[in-house]
Amino acid sequence: MATTLLRPRPLFLFRAGARPATLAASGSNSLRHATTSSLPNDSTISRRRAVTVANDTGRVPWKQLTLGEKAARTTQQSFNFGLVLLGAGLTATITYVLYLEVFSTDSKTAVFNRAADRVRKDPECLKMLAGEGLHHKREIEAHGEPSWSRWARNRTIASRHETDRAGIEHTYLHFYVTGPAATGTVQVHVAKRPDEKEWEYRLLALDVPGKQRYYLENADAGLLSQRKQGKMFGVRWN
């Protein structure tokens, strides 16, 4: 009689592939958990640089700054504010100087321009500077002191400004005019009383070498004559 050997049977039956899938899923979750826990958190990844005076852009909110970073931002903003004030002060100073020297009707530039126009429009001045014949006033150039640089476009106008004991302002200046035939010097003296707004010509004369001085205005001569006679501004002083 044949003997049959019985193999022990497993206590549980599983469908094919069930346990491996469960183990695979469990292993995957364990691996993901291990990987995630091994990485640094987001705050570590996005850790910002310390804010200093040199690199502060203002993006970091004030409440997130440390005490040292707040001091750095305050220093930077104070410095920037100082630069703004300095720039505004320089701009105001330059604007004021330009107004006094160029745009103001009391400036020597304004007096120079008016006197130069008087010379260009005067027929006798044109004759002295441009010679005989019909000439245009544009042929007469007016400029300040000669410059050693031929590239210099702006030349200084020699001038002097003073106020006498009566409160009358006086401006003296001279400049040069050049025409096709000759070069001359223009002498100017204008005065303004305290209650007046416009300058009054006391002297406007053109000197050309080899020719007699030509006067466009010569109130100083009348004033000198009145002083010699002891009478000035309608009042006899002797």
Residue 29: count other Cβ atoms within 10 Å of its Cβ: 10
Contacting residues for 119 by C-beta, under 8 A, at least 6 apart: 125, 140, 142, 177, 186, 206, 216
> What digits encode the pLDDT tens for the residues 128-167?
998 876 555 567 899 888 766 655 555 788 889 999 999 9
Beta strand ranges found along 50-144 (DSSP E): 141-143
> Residue type at 6?
L
pLDDT band with cut points at 50, 70 and 90 for residue 9: low
Q: How far apart are CA 25 and CA 36, in angstroms?
A: 16
10-14, 168-172, 222-226: which has the minimum mean pLDDT?
A: 10-14
**Which of the two residues, 152 and 91, has the higher pLDDT score?**
91
What pLDDT, on a 0 to 100 scale, did the predictor assign at position 40? Answer: 42
Beta-strand relationship, 235-236 and 231-232: antiparallel
pTM, two decimal places: 0.55
